[in-house]
Structure 1
Amino acid sequence: MRKKYFTGIATRWAMMMAVAAGLLALACNKLTESPGSVVVSSQFYKTSADAVAAVTAAYSSLNSDPAGDFPIYGRNLNLLVENASDNQVYSPSNTNPDVRALGTVTYVSSNDRLHKLWQQHYFGISRANVAIDNIPLIPAAQFADTTLQTRLVREAKFIRALLYFNLVRLFGAVPLVLHDPTTVDVNALKIGRTSADGVYAQIISDLGDATRLPATYSGANIGRVTSGAAHTLLAKVYVARRDWTDAQAELQTVISSGAYGLFPHFRDVFQRPTKNGIEHIFSVQFESNLGAVNSTQFLSESFSSFNPSVWPIDVPADSSVSQLFSGTDTRGAVTFYNTQYNAATGQTVVYKNAYTPYLNKFVDYSLSPLSNQSKSGVNYPVLRYAEVLLLESEVLNELNGPSAPAYIAINQVRERAGIGDLPVGLSQGDFRDSVFLERRREFIQEGQRWFDLVHQGGTALYDALNAIAAKRVANGGGAALKDTLFPIPLTEIQLNSQLTQNPGW
């Protein structure tokens, strides 16, 4: 996906607005009107360019927001998955009560950030549905490339599956909307929640189709969904379902393809010059200076502009997070920073307070000046090969205990980090704990932690949330069973009588 595709969407939207304005100008002064024509989606999608625009609109739901808010993968998902975990928290200077509530595990169903993320996901699903419904209706003769029509539908299905995968893990049973609405009857648009099993079945079906996408792209198409991305996400789905056998089959497909590997250096995962590289299986694309409205990587604003008295937008939960890394672990210096060289002054700025070191992964070091991080072009890595290896080690351990292949998989990640191999002779339980610890070290600030705590099971989530409450809430607090799911947003329940709330909320 590339930002230049957005201009087609903007142009077509402007044309539709112009048509609407023309119709209004020609309308008579009476209240009763009988327009001669109405532009609907089935009439609009007529060419291959229309099909590309439809799928580009689905992609753009991942890196932008129509109201100019934090995009899903530009910060909003991280507010729930990282800030509501033991990894990171809001800036001490942040006065937004909804953001602070997520960071103190005191949020309620009326939380604005919660509702915004729900809306963004269904907005993206709606765009994917439009593409899936309408692209097959375009005459095949409109496509010079005979494979393009089917490929675009499969890309849209991957995006829909990704968004539903987030939703089902965050909220459990959710409304399963698979088609663009054909009515303006409000009551007809109100639907109830589909069971988590039903949502997962649809995700698996969509990803099954997406596995038939091309393995690679070239030129301007680099960054689009590939078959490898579909197999990897499908493996994650099976792992979430604890379907170890099917997960192993998908992981082996990705590993044996030879299409992916680890960067020699961990820092290259987050560098602008090395984006869409060998380790990146699927990334949400961010770029600067291309004029794409609201496509901003807000996570880059963890950089504090050379001013030690200015707080970044989010900070590590506490000093224990940086202490996860040994002195030889190269991931530490990539994940955090506590000094910055200011080329403009020739001085090195030292940050030292209760929350340093600061989060570092999405700082775009290719920018000049470095402090202009609103223009960060660092992509958000949704799926990368390091996770394939850690999933492989988890799955093999669950199937057969800590076997030699399970050690080989996790040790590739550890060796790249410079910390050597995992000690041999671990029990299955100890090996499992080692995998989750390695995941935490590897994926800080990458939208994984809360999901991992829930998936890990046992008391992992409760222990983490209780620790958060003890440190961040004035009168302490505690986790409960309800905290394994977020509440359905109150506004959605008020608007839709078919929706029910999650237990405990």
Structure 2
Amino acid sequence: MKLKVFYILLAVSIMTSCKKLLDEEPKATATLGDLDPTTLDQTVIGVYEPLTRSRGRLWESTVGLGLELMSEYADGGSSQLNWSNYNALMNLPNNFAQSWTTLYEAIGRANSLISNLNKNTTLSDAVKNKAYGEAYFVRGYCYYFAVRVWGKVPLRLHPIVNASDVGLALSPVNVVYDSVIKDIKLADSLLPNTTTAPGRATKGAAKTALADIYLTLGQYQNARDKAKEVIDNKATYGYDLEPSLATVYSPTLATNKEDVFSLKFSQIVDKGAFMASYWADSKAKAAGYSVSGNKFGGIISLAPLIKGWDDNDLRKKFSLYDKYVINGVTTAAEVEKDIYDLRMGKYKDPDAPIDTGNGNDFYLFRFADVLLIFAEAENKLNGPTTAAYNAINQIRRRGYGQPVNTASAYDLTAGLSQSAFDDSVFRERGYEFIGESKRWFDMVRTNRVAQMINGVNSVIKFPTRKPVPTKFVFALPDVELQNNPLAN
């Protein structure tokens, strides 16, 4: 059974003075001076734990589903309408409230670990450095996610030890990004090239995160250079594209060579992800998609991205469906025809024990990210060079089942302008990362939100379901506003 990062309590002394004030504070602290490397490693695992907690409402569910439904090509249907109504979504404070507390718990644990490592005098530098690197990576990535979702946030970089630490003003977006880059750079300098424990951060993951952060900030030279470092050292890090999509999204494999950093889930009750069940319908088990189905939204075939998707692209068949075969009989999938007419099938685990036990991992970064970051940044800097074409064409060739290093009839059209190539990369990211909750962030960072939503609204039956948003960050949740007097 696939490796699962199990919950490790950090507790040796419980903090009670401010526990009732904030869910953000570390639930406990650990004194590392008396710990050996093995126990330290267990404590590091505890830093990751909130990110993969079933029912934690972070990437495995609320984020994985909600952010994907915010894509222009998706709709939550009758049960998840709020995720498509952008303006109501952005102005209501608690749509990401559970994610906020879970995210800050991971940040709090990372802060506690860093603080205790600073005080420790018994562990070797080599052992401490790896732990530092993982803590900085988790903290940095959590703030990278937070700044894109909420904008200004309280930048907590030290453990909360008493009630006087609760009040903290919101940091400007640029200050948060500066902290994120600092953390991930430290992680890059401290982490090992590889890991024998899937789901743990490595040097390649840190470099990829930096490339993605720089791309979001429009720092194309830095984004290109970091992505190229990963490409040039892919053998060192063990990265490459997997020929088979079934391998990439397997519910049972611990990892694969395309896995740069992913959240690990297992086929164990309450130790898995929800994604396969969220997207499937009531016939999920018999249809081969999940142990059960919630019908929490689907995909709009008329959306320009989807309508223009070549049927020969294997990713389309792997990711989307409107029918399935049960006992030899072709049966129409359950959809809300006037709203969405395709189901998402990228995550499949019919052998899961329960809907909280789907084994599909959730990728934050794949080697495909690296190639597409490089292609986009290289084009922004130098136009559609041979190197930029080579990067995107590897993705396209794999999508069409072709050898990735051999020229193919499915390669991107030669001689494109810089603008046309940029549009092609954006489109390719839509196909490659459908179901992986990247589209909304891509729409925002490339200033394509209105363009994409208007394009869909021009062809769907009920365009009022997807109003063009007037803002692009969420309101802070009540838990922060009530407990942090300086957050208002």
TM-score range for the pair, normalised by the shorter chain length: 0.7 to 0.9
Contact 2:251 2:349 in 1 (8 A): yes
Aligned AA (2:343): Y
What's the counterpart of residue 421 of structure 2? 431
Matching of residue 231 in structure 1 with residue 214 in structure 2: no
CA distance in 2: counterparts of 1:473 and 1:111, whole angstroms: 26
Matching of residue 260 in structure 1 with residue 239 in structure 2: yes
- Name the CA shift for 1:155/1:40 in 2 (closer, same or farther; >3 Å): closer
Matching of residue 133 in structure 1 with residue 115 in structure 2: yes
Aligned AA (2:49): S
TM-score of the two chains, using structure 1 as the length reference: 0.81
Q: What CA deviation, in whole Å up to 9, does each residue of 1:222-274 have, x standing for no partner?
A: 33111000000001111111111111221111001123111112332111344
Contact 2:73 2:456 in 1 (8 A): no
Matching of residue 214 in structure 1 with residue 192 in structure 2: yes
Q: What CA deviation, in whole Å up to 9, does each residue of 1:451-474 have, x standing for no partner?
A: 0001112xx201334466775868
CA distance in 2: counterparts of 1:113 and 1:495, whole angstroms: 18
Contact 1:169 1:451 in 2 (8 A): yes
Contact 2:224 2:377 in 1 (8 A): yes
TM-score of the two chains, using structure 2 as the length reference: 0.84
Contact 1:269 1:275 in 2 (8 A): no
Q: What CA deviation, in whole Å up to 9, does each residue of 1:93-135 have, x standing for no partner?
A: x2xxxx4222221225434322222222212111111111113
Where does structure 2 lack aligned partners over 5 or more consecutive residues? 17-26, 401-408
Matching of residue 329 in structure 1 with residue 318 in structure 2: no
Aligned AA (2:318): V
- Name the CA shift for 1:376/1:405 in 2 (closer, same or farther; >3 Å): same
- Name the CA shift for 1:177/1:346 in 2 (closer, same or farther; >3 Å): same
Aligned AA (2:85): T
- Name the CA shift for 1:298/1:485 in 2 (closer, same or farther; >3 Å): same
CA distance in 1: counterparts of 2:5 and 2:221, whole angstroms: 41
Contact 1:306 1:349 in 2 (8 A): no
Matching of residue 304 in structure 1 with residue 281 in structure 2: yes
Max Rg structure = 1
Aligned AA (1:315): G
The counterpart of 1:195, out of the listed 165, 169, 172, is 172
Matching of residue 446 in structure 1 with residue 446 in structure 2: no
Contact 2:300 2:341 in 1 (8 A): no
- Name the CA shift for 1:4/1:115 in 2 (closer, same or farther; >3 Å): closer
What's the counterpart of residue 83 of structure 1? 69
- Name the CA shift for 1:42/1:374 in 2 (closer, same or farther; >3 Å): closer
Where does structure 1 lack aligned partners over 5 or more consecutive residues? 21-38, 501-505
Matching of residue 55 in structure 1 with residue 44 in structure 2: yes
Q: Secondary structure at the match of 2:95?
A: helix
- Name the CA shift for 1:40/1:392 in 2 (closer, same or farther; >3 Å): closer
CA distance in 2: counterparts of 1:439 and 1:473, whole angstroms: 26
Matching of residue 124 in structure 1 with residue 120 in structure 2: no
* Segment of structure 1 superposing worse, 266-275 or 303-312: 303-312
Matching of residue 384 in structure 1 with residue 366 in structure 2: yes
1:151 Cα deviation (Å)?
0.4
Contact 2:84 2:465 in 1 (8 A): no
- Name the CA shift for 1:254/1:107 in 2 (closer, same or farther; >3 Å): same
Q: How does 1:449-468 map to 2 (within 5 A)?
A: 449-457=439-447, 460-466=448-454
Q: How does 1:334-353 map to 2 (within 5 A)?
A: 334-342=318-326, 349-351=331-333, 353=335
Matching of residue 393 in structure 1 with residue 375 in structure 2: yes
Q: What CA deviation, in whole Å up to 9, does each residue of 1:403-445 have, x standing for no partner?
A: 1111111111111111711111111111111100000011011
Q: Secondary structure at the match of 1:217?
A: coil
Q: How large is the RMSD of aligned CA atoms in angstroms? A: 3.0
CA distance in 2: counterparts of 1:254 and 1:271, whole angstroms: 24
- Name the CA shift for 1:300/1:40 in 2 (closer, same or farther; >3 Å): closer
Q: Secondary structure at the match of 1:282?
A: strand
- Name the CA shift for 1:310/1:426 in 2 (closer, same or farther; >3 Å): same
- Name the CA shift for 1:82/1:173 in 2 (closer, same or farther; >3 Å): same
Q: Secondary structure at the match of 1:421?
A: coil
Q: Secondary structure at the match of 2:162?
A: coil
What's the counterpart of residue 33 of structure 1? none
Q: Secondary structure at the match of 1:446?
A: coil
* Segment of structure 1 superposing worse, 306-315 or 384-393: 306-315
1:137 Cα deviation (Å)?
2.7
The counterpart of 1:157, out of the listed 104, 124, 136, is 136
CA distance in 2: counterparts of 1:240 and 1:40, whole angstroms: 34
The counterpart of 1:241, out of the listed 217, 221, 235, is 217
* Segment of structure 1 superposing worse, 49-58 or 232-241: 49-58
What's the counterpart of residue 101 of structure 1? 82
1:69 Cα deviation (Å)?
4.5
Q: What CA deviation, in whole Å up to 9, does each residue of 1:156-178 have, x standing for no partner?
A: 11011111111111222211110
1:297 Cα deviation (Å)?
0.7
Contact 1:364 1:373 in 2 (8 A): no
Q: How does 1:157-176 map to 2 (within 5 A)?
A: 157-176=136-155
CA distance in 2: counterparts of 1:193 and 1:395, whole angstroms: 31
CA distance in 1: counterparts of 2:122 and 2:133, whole angstroms: 16
Contact 1:158 1:210 in 2 (8 A): yes
- Name the CA shift for 1:180/1:206 in 2 (closer, same or farther; >3 Å): same
- Name the CA shift for 1:4/1:475 in 2 (closer, same or farther; >3 Å): closer
Q: Secondary structure at the match of 2:163?
A: coil
1:5 Cα deviation (Å)?
4.1
- Kindly tell me the number of residue pairs found equivalent between the two proteins: 451
1:313 Cα deviation (Å)?
2.7
Contact 2:300 2:342 in 1 (8 A): no
What's the counterpart of residue 19 of structure 2? none
The counterpart of 1:41, out of the listed 26, 29, 32, is 29
Q: Secondary structure at the match of 1:374?
A: helix
Matching of residue 283 in structure 1 with residue 250 in structure 2: no
1:356 Cα deviation (Å)?
3.7
What's the counterpart of residue 59 of structure 2? 73
